[in-house]
Structure 1
Amino acid sequence: MGIKSFQGRRAEPEKVESAPILVEDYMTRSLITFKKDQLVIEVMQALLDNKISGAPVVNENNELVGIISDGDCMKQISESRYYNMPIGDMQIEKYMDTDVQTIDRKMNIFDCASLFYKHNCRRFPIVENGKLVGQISRKDILCAAMDLRSQNWHC
Protein backbone atom coordinates (compact mmCIF):
# COMPACT_ATOMS: atom_id res chain seq x y z
CA MET A 1 0.00 0.00 0.00
CA GLY A 2 1.42 3.37 -1.01
CA ILE A 3 1.55 6.55 0.99
CA LYS A 4 -1.47 8.75 0.54
CA SER A 5 -1.28 12.48 0.86
CA PHE A 6 -4.22 14.49 2.06
CA GLN A 7 -2.59 17.80 1.30
CA GLY A 8 -3.99 17.95 -2.17
CA ARG A 9 -2.36 19.65 -5.09
CA ARG A 10 -0.31 22.72 -4.25
CA ALA A 11 -1.37 25.97 -5.80
CA GLU A 12 0.96 27.65 -8.24
CA PRO A 13 2.88 30.49 -6.62
CA GLU A 14 1.20 33.77 -7.33
CA LYS A 15 3.23 36.09 -9.51
CA VAL A 16 3.09 39.65 -8.40
CA GLU A 17 3.37 42.06 -11.30
CA SER A 18 4.91 45.29 -10.17
CA ALA A 19 4.89 48.52 -12.06
CA PRO A 20 8.11 49.20 -13.95
CA ILE A 21 10.64 51.42 -12.24
CA LEU A 22 11.03 54.42 -14.49
CA VAL A 23 13.71 57.02 -15.03
CA GLU A 24 11.32 59.68 -13.71
CA ASP A 25 11.25 57.86 -10.35
CA TYR A 26 14.98 58.43 -9.85
CA MET A 27 15.97 61.39 -12.02
CA THR A 28 17.21 64.59 -10.45
CA ARG A 29 14.89 67.50 -11.14
CA SER A 30 16.79 70.24 -9.34
CA LEU A 31 19.87 70.65 -11.49
CA ILE A 32 22.99 72.73 -11.50
CA THR A 33 23.22 74.14 -15.01
CA PHE A 34 25.58 76.42 -16.87
CA LYS A 35 25.38 78.95 -19.70
CA LYS A 36 27.71 78.60 -22.68
CA ASP A 37 29.37 81.98 -22.05
CA GLN A 38 30.51 81.04 -18.53
CA LEU A 39 34.21 80.54 -17.93
CA VAL A 40 35.76 77.11 -17.46
CA ILE A 41 37.11 78.24 -14.06
CA GLU A 42 33.53 78.88 -12.87
CA VAL A 43 32.50 75.41 -13.96
CA MET A 44 35.51 73.83 -12.27
CA GLN A 45 34.66 75.54 -8.99
CA ALA A 46 30.97 74.58 -9.20
CA LEU A 47 31.83 70.94 -9.97
CA LEU A 48 34.13 70.82 -6.96
CA ASP A 49 31.71 72.67 -4.65
CA ASN A 50 28.82 70.39 -5.58
CA LYS A 51 30.83 67.16 -5.85
CA ILE A 52 29.58 66.43 -9.36
CA SER A 53 31.43 65.46 -12.53
CA GLY A 54 29.45 67.47 -15.05
CA ALA A 55 26.24 69.34 -15.77
CA PRO A 56 23.94 70.45 -18.57
CA VAL A 57 24.48 73.70 -20.44
CA VAL A 58 21.24 75.54 -21.25
CA ASN A 59 20.22 78.72 -23.01
CA GLU A 60 18.03 81.50 -21.60
CA ASN A 61 14.89 79.41 -22.40
CA ASN A 62 16.18 76.39 -20.42
CA GLU A 63 16.76 74.48 -23.66
CA LEU A 64 19.65 72.01 -23.61
CA VAL A 65 22.59 73.15 -25.73
CA GLY A 66 25.30 70.85 -24.37
CA ILE A 67 27.00 69.13 -21.46
CA ILE A 68 30.19 70.22 -19.73
CA SER A 69 32.19 67.69 -17.73
CA ASP A 70 35.32 67.51 -15.65
CA GLY A 71 36.96 65.85 -18.67
CA ASP A 72 36.11 68.87 -20.82
CA CYS A 73 37.73 71.08 -18.18
CA MET A 74 40.85 68.89 -18.30
CA LYS A 75 41.14 69.64 -22.01
CA GLN A 76 41.17 73.38 -21.30
CA ILE A 77 43.74 72.91 -18.51
CA SER A 78 45.95 70.96 -20.91
CA GLU A 79 45.59 73.55 -23.67
CA SER A 80 46.34 76.39 -21.25
CA ARG A 81 49.84 75.08 -20.74
CA TYR A 82 50.39 74.37 -24.43
CA TYR A 83 49.21 77.82 -25.53
CA ASN A 84 50.55 79.58 -22.41
CA MET A 85 47.09 80.84 -21.38
CA PRO A 86 45.67 81.29 -17.89
CA ILE A 87 43.83 78.20 -16.63
CA GLY A 88 40.08 78.45 -16.90
CA ASP A 89 39.83 81.78 -18.73
CA MET A 90 38.01 80.37 -21.76
CA GLN A 91 34.25 80.16 -22.20
CA ILE A 92 32.78 76.68 -21.87
CA GLU A 93 31.14 76.91 -25.30
CA LYS A 94 34.49 75.93 -26.81
CA TYR A 95 34.83 72.81 -24.61
CA MET A 96 31.31 71.54 -23.95
CA ASP A 97 29.92 68.51 -25.75
CA THR A 98 27.06 69.53 -28.04
CA ASP A 99 26.27 66.04 -29.34
CA VAL A 100 24.20 65.02 -26.32
CA GLN A 101 21.92 62.02 -26.19
CA THR A 102 18.77 62.55 -24.16
CA ILE A 103 16.30 59.97 -22.87
CA ASP A 104 12.61 59.85 -22.07
CA ARG A 105 11.56 60.04 -18.43
CA LYS A 106 9.17 57.09 -19.04
CA MET A 107 12.03 54.73 -19.96
CA ASN A 108 12.49 51.89 -17.47
CA ILE A 109 15.71 51.77 -15.50
CA PHE A 110 16.83 48.47 -17.09
CA ASP A 111 16.81 50.01 -20.58
CA CYS A 112 18.50 53.10 -19.17
CA ALA A 113 21.21 50.96 -17.54
CA SER A 114 21.79 49.31 -20.91
CA LEU A 115 22.24 52.73 -22.54
CA PHE A 116 24.76 53.74 -19.88
CA TYR A 117 26.69 50.56 -20.59
CA LYS A 118 26.55 50.96 -24.39
CA HIS A 119 27.44 54.65 -24.50
CA ASN A 120 29.85 54.79 -21.56
CA CYS A 121 28.56 58.15 -20.38
CA ARG A 122 27.90 59.41 -16.86
CA ARG A 123 24.57 61.18 -17.28
CA PHE A 124 21.57 61.51 -19.56
CA PRO A 125 19.53 64.72 -19.63
CA ILE A 126 15.75 64.45 -19.86
CA VAL A 127 14.07 66.97 -22.15
CA GLU A 128 10.33 67.56 -22.59
CA ASN A 129 8.82 70.01 -25.03
CA GLY A 130 12.31 71.27 -25.77
CA LYS A 131 13.05 72.14 -22.12
CA LEU A 132 15.47 70.46 -19.74
CA VAL A 133 13.37 68.84 -16.98
CA GLY A 134 15.89 66.56 -15.29
CA GLN A 135 18.88 64.31 -15.49
CA ILE A 136 19.66 60.74 -14.53
CA SER A 137 23.13 59.54 -13.62
CA ARG A 138 24.75 56.15 -13.25
CA LYS A 139 24.56 56.64 -9.49
CA ASP A 140 20.77 57.11 -9.76
CA ILE A 141 20.51 53.76 -11.59
CA LEU A 142 22.55 52.08 -8.85
CA CYS A 143 20.15 53.51 -6.24
CA ALA A 144 17.18 52.16 -8.22
CA ALA A 145 18.80 48.72 -8.41
CA MET A 146 19.41 48.66 -4.67
CA ASP A 147 15.80 49.67 -4.01
CA LEU A 148 14.60 46.97 -6.40
CA ARG A 149 16.84 44.40 -4.75
CA SER A 150 15.43 45.14 -1.30
CA GLN A 151 11.87 44.78 -2.63
CA ASN A 152 12.10 41.76 -4.92
CA TRP A 153 15.32 39.82 -4.65
CA HIS A 154 14.81 37.99 -1.39
CA CYS A 155 16.80 34.84 -0.73
Structure 2
Amino acid sequence: MGIKSFQGKRDANQAKEESQILVADYMTTNLITFKAEDSLDHVIEQLITHKISGGPVVNDKNELIGIISETDCIKHISESKYYNMPADINNTVEKYMVTDVDTIDKNMNVFDAAFKFISSHRRRFPVVEKGKLIGQLSQKDVLKAAIKVDGNTWL
Protein backbone atom coordinates (compact mmCIF):
# COMPACT_ATOMS: atom_id res chain seq x y z
CA MET A 1 0.00 0.00 0.00
CA GLY A 2 1.42 3.39 -1.05
CA ILE A 3 1.44 6.61 0.90
CA LYS A 4 -1.15 9.05 -0.39
CA SER A 5 0.02 12.25 1.31
CA PHE A 6 2.86 13.32 3.52
CA GLN A 7 1.01 16.39 4.69
CA GLY A 8 -2.14 14.92 6.13
CA LYS A 9 -5.52 16.56 6.30
CA ARG A 10 -5.59 20.34 6.03
CA ASP A 11 -7.88 22.68 7.84
CA ALA A 12 -9.91 25.04 5.66
CA ASN A 13 -8.49 27.90 7.75
CA GLN A 14 -4.93 26.99 6.75
CA ALA A 15 -5.41 28.25 3.18
CA LYS A 16 -2.31 30.09 2.05
CA GLU A 17 -2.74 33.83 2.23
CA GLU A 18 -1.45 35.23 -1.02
CA SER A 19 0.77 38.20 -0.44
CA GLN A 20 3.22 39.35 -3.04
CA ILE A 21 6.77 40.16 -2.06
CA LEU A 22 7.42 43.14 -4.29
CA VAL A 23 10.56 44.75 -5.61
CA ALA A 24 9.38 47.99 -3.98
CA ASP A 25 9.66 46.31 -0.55
CA TYR A 26 13.36 45.45 -0.99
CA MET A 27 14.84 47.90 -3.51
CA THR A 28 17.39 50.47 -2.44
CA THR A 29 16.14 54.02 -2.80
CA ASN A 30 19.12 55.95 -1.41
CA LEU A 31 21.40 55.52 -4.42
CA ILE A 32 24.82 56.73 -5.40
CA THR A 33 24.21 58.07 -8.90
CA PHE A 34 26.49 59.48 -11.55
CA LYS A 35 26.21 62.09 -14.30
CA ALA A 36 27.37 61.58 -17.90
CA GLU A 37 29.96 64.34 -17.50
CA ASP A 38 31.55 62.84 -14.34
CA SER A 39 35.13 61.64 -14.75
CA LEU A 40 35.89 57.96 -14.41
CA ASP A 41 38.41 58.80 -11.70
CA HIS A 42 35.51 60.25 -9.68
CA VAL A 43 33.44 57.11 -10.35
CA ILE A 44 36.28 54.81 -9.27
CA GLU A 45 36.74 56.82 -6.08
CA GLN A 46 32.99 56.60 -5.30
CA LEU A 47 32.82 52.85 -6.02
CA ILE A 48 35.69 52.22 -3.62
CA THR A 49 34.48 54.64 -0.94
CA HIS A 50 30.92 53.29 -0.89
CA LYS A 51 31.90 49.64 -1.51
CA ILE A 52 29.59 49.31 -4.51
CA SER A 53 30.19 47.67 -7.88
CA GLY A 54 28.38 50.22 -10.04
CA GLY A 55 25.59 52.71 -10.22
CA PRO A 56 22.96 54.34 -12.40
CA VAL A 57 23.74 57.33 -14.58
CA VAL A 58 21.02 59.99 -14.61
CA ASN A 59 20.45 63.34 -16.27
CA ASP A 60 19.37 66.57 -14.54
CA LYS A 61 15.73 65.38 -14.57
CA ASN A 62 16.69 62.16 -12.73
CA GLU A 63 15.93 60.12 -15.87
CA LEU A 64 17.99 56.96 -16.27
CA ILE A 65 20.41 57.26 -19.20
CA GLY A 66 22.85 54.44 -18.41
CA ILE A 67 24.78 52.36 -15.92
CA ILE A 68 28.48 52.52 -15.07
CA SER A 69 30.20 49.57 -13.41
CA GLU A 70 33.59 48.41 -12.18
CA THR A 71 33.98 46.54 -15.46
CA ASP A 72 33.42 49.74 -17.44
CA CYS A 73 36.08 51.48 -15.33
CA ILE A 74 38.51 48.61 -15.86
CA LYS A 75 38.06 49.04 -19.63
CA HIS A 76 39.26 52.62 -19.21
CA ILE A 77 42.25 51.50 -17.15
CA SER A 78 43.19 48.80 -19.63
CA GLU A 79 43.00 51.27 -22.53
CA SER A 80 45.33 53.82 -20.98
CA LYS A 81 47.26 52.84 -17.89
CA TYR A 82 48.03 49.27 -18.97
CA TYR A 83 49.82 50.50 -22.09
CA ASN A 84 51.49 53.34 -20.16
CA MET A 85 49.62 55.88 -22.23
CA PRO A 86 48.53 59.26 -20.90
CA ALA A 87 45.02 59.30 -19.53
CA ASP A 88 42.36 60.19 -22.05
CA ILE A 89 41.13 63.72 -21.41
CA ASN A 90 37.64 62.54 -22.35
CA ASN A 91 37.49 59.82 -19.70
CA THR A 92 33.90 60.60 -18.82
CA VAL A 93 31.11 58.32 -17.74
CA GLU A 94 29.32 59.04 -21.01
CA LYS A 95 32.13 57.40 -22.99
CA TYR A 96 32.19 54.16 -20.97
CA MET A 97 28.68 53.67 -19.54
CA VAL A 98 26.24 51.06 -20.83
CA THR A 99 23.20 52.77 -22.34
CA ASP A 100 21.09 49.71 -23.16
CA VAL A 101 19.81 49.21 -19.61
CA ASP A 102 17.32 46.56 -18.49
CA THR A 103 14.97 47.88 -15.83
CA ILE A 104 12.32 46.29 -13.65
CA ASP A 105 8.99 47.44 -12.29
CA LYS A 106 8.54 48.18 -8.59
CA ASN A 107 5.42 45.96 -8.58
CA MET A 108 7.28 42.88 -9.85
CA ASN A 109 7.55 39.94 -7.47
CA VAL A 110 11.07 39.76 -6.00
CA PHE A 111 11.40 36.11 -6.95
CA ASP A 112 10.42 36.84 -10.55
CA ALA A 113 13.20 39.43 -10.44
CA ALA A 114 15.53 36.68 -9.14
CA PHE A 115 14.81 34.65 -12.26
CA LYS A 116 15.55 37.74 -14.37
CA PHE A 117 18.93 38.07 -12.61
CA ILE A 118 19.77 34.47 -13.45
CA SER A 119 18.71 34.68 -17.08
CA SER A 120 20.37 38.04 -17.78
CA HIS A 121 23.60 37.67 -15.75
CA ARG A 122 23.14 41.19 -14.34
CA ARG A 123 24.10 42.29 -10.82
CA ARG A 124 21.57 45.10 -10.49
CA PHE A 125 18.39 46.39 -12.08
CA PRO A 126 17.33 50.02 -11.89
CA VAL A 127 13.69 50.61 -10.99
CA VAL A 128 12.08 53.32 -13.09
CA GLU A 129 8.64 54.88 -12.76
CA LYS A 130 7.31 57.35 -15.34
CA GLY A 131 10.83 57.68 -16.76
CA LYS A 132 12.38 58.64 -13.41
CA LEU A 133 14.83 56.53 -11.42
CA ILE A 134 13.18 55.59 -8.11
CA GLY A 135 15.44 52.78 -6.90
CA GLN A 136 17.58 49.79 -7.67
CA LEU A 137 17.30 46.10 -6.91
CA SER A 138 20.52 44.13 -6.51
CA GLN A 139 21.12 40.43 -6.17
CA LYS A 140 21.88 41.05 -2.49
CA ASP A 141 18.42 42.61 -2.05
CA VAL A 142 16.87 39.40 -3.41
CA LEU A 143 18.91 37.38 -0.90
CA LYS A 144 17.66 39.62 1.91
CA ALA A 145 14.08 38.96 0.80
CA ALA A 146 14.69 35.21 0.65
CA ILE A 147 16.05 35.13 4.21
CA LYS A 148 12.99 36.94 5.59
CA VAL A 149 10.43 34.79 3.81
CA ASP A 150 9.10 31.49 5.09
CA GLY A 151 9.67 28.86 2.39
CA ASN A 152 5.94 28.10 2.23
CA THR A 153 4.99 31.64 1.29
CA TRP A 154 7.08 32.12 -1.84
CA LEU A 155 4.98 32.98 -4.86
Cα distance in 1 between the residues matched to 2:19 and 2:86: 54
Question: In the alignment, is the contact (CA less than 8 A) between 1:76 and 1:95 conserved in 2?
Answer: yes
- Within 5 Å, give how 1:63-74 maps onto structure 2: 63-74=63-74
Secondary structure of the residue aligned to 1:126 is: strand
Mapped pair 1:33 → 2:33: yes
Q: Is the 8 A contact 1:23 1:107 kept in 2?
A: yes
Partner of 1:59: 59
Residues 79-113 of structure 1: CA deviation (Å, up to 9, x unaligned): 01337123896111111000000110000011100
Which residue identity does 1:134 align to in structure 2?
G
Secondary structure of the residue aligned to 2:33 is coil
Shift, 1:12, TM fit: 2.0
Q: Give the TM-score normalised by structure 1.
A: 0.86
Q: What is the SS of the residue equivalent to 2:99? A: coil
Which structure ranks higher in relative contact order (CA pairs < 8 Å, sequence separation ≥ 6)? 2
Residue type matched to 2:33 in 1?
T
Unaligned runs of 5+ residues in structure 1 are 1-9
Report how far residue 66 of structure 1 moved: 0.1
TM-score (norm 2): 0.86
Note closer, same or farther for the CA distance 1:109–1:88 as it changes in structure 2 (3 Å cut). Answer: farther
Counting only pairs closer than 5 Å after superposition, residues 1-155 of structure 1 correspond to structure 2 as: 12-13=10-11, 14-80=14-80, 81-82=82-83, 84-86=85-87, 90-149=91-150
AA matched with 2:110: I
Question: Hey, what's the Cα distance between the residues in 1 that align with 2:153 and 2:102?
Answer: 31
Name the CA distance, whole Å, in 1 between partners of 2:43 and 2:55. 9
| Structure 2 CA distance for aligned equivalents of residues 44 and 89 of structure 1 | 15
Deviates more, 1:55-64 or 1:82-91: 82-91
Residue 97 of structure 1 aligns to which amino acid in structure 2? V
Percent sequence identity over aligned pairs: 50
RMSD: 2.1
SS at match of 2:65: strand
SS of match in other structure, 1:65: strand
Q: How many residues align?
A: 144
